[in-house]
Amino acid sequence: MPDLLAKGAFFQAMKRYKCIHRRLFGHYNFTMPPKPPTRLMKKLNMTMKEFLIKYDCEALASLFELGHSMQGYGLVEHIPAFYGLWWFPPELFWAYLPPPLGKNPRNTAMITMIKEGYGEVWSRLAKQSNLDVILNFNVTAITRHPEKIVIEGIDTNGEQEASATLEFDYLIVTSPLKKMLNVLNDPSEEELEVFSKLHKYCVCTTLYSSDLQKGTQVIEYRPHALPTFGRVFAQRHSAKCVEGSNFRGHKDTYVAYQFTDPKKVCLNEKEYKDLFMNEMKERGITNIEIIEQQIWPYFYHFDKEEINKGYPWKILDMQGRNRTLYSGASASFESVNDVMNYNLMLLHRFVST
């Protein structure tokens, strides 16, 4: 980046990017970009890489690799431009740059962590607000009547699993919307059409310990690994994140991230594990012990053809029909900030203050 900065190419590209971003979406509240005017929609009918080339913004490509692809949101060569433009509003570039160049006056870290994990946020929120949350209830069928919603499922809270039926006034779906089609009785034509077109990526996280690794960072990104599906593209040392230079462990404990696009490669648990172990051995890491491994469906998104048909905004038009609201990452974008902002947008629209 410094070379590019010296040439001013980076700043010129940022200016061009901001200009085209504003033309497409203008200024907006919350984080989801509004639908561009119909005459401009074709500007979104391309991948992020094509977009950066077309609008002479290639100098920003490495920042997209780091800020977008390394978060598991797909390769710039594959991902529809819309998602890159959503994740990277022009202001975000400035936040990446330290002073005096950037607008990050306190030079605060771009990435921060919650010591007890995100899960704790929701537990405390539910507790403090005294919310009636039913956990361990697997929804198996949803029926929407004109006056009520009937949910059937398996309750695994007791000693034995039990079938249960619950009734509600409204339905707010936050599971992946494509998955919801498996349990929704009588989905509408538009629900079937739109939600069935969602595609997911897969991220496999492996929590492992090993002998101390030399020279590794708190967070390590390996952009060159991402295109080879299943290779470790990032790893994070949570203890070092929290304890910093005070970390004095005799072993390292990392979370490693592997990525695949199931449309191209589908890996099962064993295959992920074998690839992980082989790679770690190649890297000379010794005494590896896998503590836990989890495969996550990740970043449900539309292809550019569906973006061109306006599907992300069609979901907004569908909100409220059949006593149903759609939320969660597959209705918006795979990040806590975006899911929360989408919820606020729905509140703003449906709940008068």
45 binds ligand FAD (CB under 6 A): no
Interaction of residue 175 with ligand FAD, rule CB under 6 A? yes
287: left (phi > 0), else alpha (psi -120 to 50), else beta? left
Q: Which of 183, 184, 232, 325 binds ligand FAD (CB under 6 A)?
A: 183
* Contact by Cβ (8 Å): 223, 70: yes
Shortest distance, position 72 Cβ to ligand FAD, whole Å? 7
Q: Is 205 in the site for ligand FAD (CB under 6 A)?
A: yes
Helix (H, G, I), strand (E, B) or coil at 332: coil
Other CB atoms within a 10 A radius of the CB of residue 2 amount to 7
First to last CA, the chain: 46
Q: Which is nearer to ligand FAD, 57 or 339 (CB)?
A: 339
* 329 touches ligand FAD by CB under 6 A: yes
Q: Segment near ligand FAD (CB under 6 A), from 84-92, 174-182, 207-215, 268-276?
A: 174-182
Query: Do you find a cis peptide bond into 98, omega within 30 degrees of 0?
Result: no
Three-class secondary structure of residue 123 per DSSP? helix
Among 67, 74, 310, 328, binds ligand FAD (CB under 6 A): 328
Residue 337 engages ligand FAD in binding (rule: CB under 6 A) = yes
Candidate list 339, 343, 345, 346; residue touching ligand FAD; CB under 6 A: 339
The partner residues of 163 in beta bridges, in order of sequence, read 154
Here the tokens at position 198 are 């969602």
Which parts of 1-40 interact with ligand FAD (CB under 6 A)?
none
Kindly report the number of other CB atoms within 10 A of residue 151's CB atom.
18
Residues within the interface to ligand FAD (CB under 6 A): 138-139, 174-175, 179, 183, 203, 205, 296, 298, 328-329, 334-337, 339
